[in-house]
Amino acid sequence: MLKEFRDFAMKGNVVDLAIGVIIGAAFGKIVSSLVEDIIMPLIGIFGKADFSNLFLPLSSAVTATNLADAKKQGGVFAYGNFITNIISFLIIAVALFFVVKLINSMKKAEEAAPAAPPAPTKTETLLEQIRDQLAKR
Q: For 46-75, give the secondary structure using H, E and C.
A: HHCCCHHHCCEECCCCCCCCCHHHHHHHCC
Per-residue pLDDT of the chain (137 residues; tens, 9 = 90+): 556 655 555 555 777 777 778 888 888 888 888 877 887 777 777 766 667 778 888 888 888 888 888 888 888 888 887 887 888 788 888 888 888 888 888 888 777 767 778 888 999 999 999 999 989 87
Total-model pTM: 0.55
| Diameter over CA atoms, the chain | 107
Cα–Cα dist 28/9, whole Å:
25
Question: Which of the four CATH numbers 1.10.1200.120, 3.90.280.10, 3.30.390.30, 1.20.210.10 does domain 2-136 have?
Answer: 1.10.1200.120
Cβ–Cβ under 8 Å, residues 81 and 68: no
